[in-house]
Structure 1
Amino acid sequence: MISRLVANLCVGLIFVILGLLLTQVLMRYFHGSPPSWTEELAIILFAWLVLLYATVGLREGFHVAIETIPSRYVRLQGWANRWVAALAVIFGWITLTAGIDYVLRTAGQKSAALQIPIETLYLCVPVCGALFILHGVARLFPEPDPAEATA
């Protein structure tokens, strides 16, 4: 449920970023100079997009390592999946704690063009760290498949 919501948010972010970049190109072509805020906002949204979609990749299992490790060790597939999930939880914890620390250290700073709090950019790190933990735990303890229970 959460991964579907995050994936839909990522699709929306892609369209907003494309709109910003198109605006920048058109303004450069017709006006000779693009507005600086479009590039800065696109960078902020792109950082959010990449990290958010990485959490979806963990939950849905379409990262390269998540696919490669279990397929190499067919007999140990269950344990390999759990190891990958456990490593993701550890990575999420490190990302969450380091991200919170970094957001607190940069509190009060403003972005160059938009003059918005720079925490708007850096907050994506702890938020996505928390999502990594959430999705990693979900992979550690998957819901039982109803089809297998009745078989």
Structure 2
Amino acid sequence: MLRRIEELLLAVLLGGMALLAFANVLTRYFLHYPLAFTEELLVNAFVWATLMGIAIGLREGPEGAHIRFVALTEILPEGWRRGFIALGFTVFALLFLLLAFLAWGQARDDLVLKTTSPSLGLPNAVYTLPTPFLALWVAFRALQGVWRSLRG
């Protein structure tokens, strides 16, 4: 169920990004007037899509679906191999927990300072609030990878 929700959200986000970029190209080409607000939306949506894609990649398979350096782990005995893979997932989780903490600070500052975006005049928190939660989701998926690795 969660897998489907993740994939559906990412598909909707990527589809919306493609339509928005295409609309911008059409208006720039035919009307000679670009839609300035699309860059604001696309840049932030790209960050969200990247984080969602990382989480989806971490959940796939026993070692995750992301590119990794396996020359060392391939020659290790099974117990050591699982331990090093778990260590990699742990470092990944810690990195994204740190990102979530820092992103929360940015979102909090945007809420307190009531900053607005340049093109649409929306509160910046609209763009920054999803980031710490998505980073936490990536950390959760990484911790699931630790569990899978240690469980064998």
Report the TM-score when normalising by structure 1: 0.83
How do 1:35-54 residues align onto structure 2 when only pairs under 5 Å count? 35-54=35-54
Kept in 1, the 8 Å contact 2:10–2:49? The answer is yes
Kept in 2, the 8 Å contact 1:92–1:132? The answer is yes
Report the counterpart of residue 127 of structure 1 in structure 2: 133
- Is 1:136 the counterpart of 2:130 in the alignment? no
Instruction: Give unpaired runs (5+ residues) of structure 2.
Output: none
C-alpha change, 1:69 and 1:90, in structure 2 (3 Å) is farther
Kept in 1, the 8 Å contact 2:115–2:123? The answer is yes
Pairwise CA distance, 1:56: 1.4
Kept in 2, the 8 Å contact 1:96–1:125? The answer is yes
Instruction: Give unpaired runs (5+ residues) of structure 1.
Output: none
Distance 2:74 2:128 in 1: 37
Identity of aligned pairs, percent?
20
Kept in 2, the 8 Å contact 1:51–1:124? The answer is no
Larger relative contact order (CA 8 Å, sep ≥ 6): 2
Q: For this pair of structures, how many residues does the alignment match? A: 145
Kept in 2, the 8 Å contact 1:89–1:137? The answer is yes
Pairwise CA distance, 1:144: 10
List per-residue Cα deviations over 1:25-59 (Å, max 9, x = no partner). Answer: 11011111112122221122111111111121222
Pairwise CA distance, 1:109: 0.8
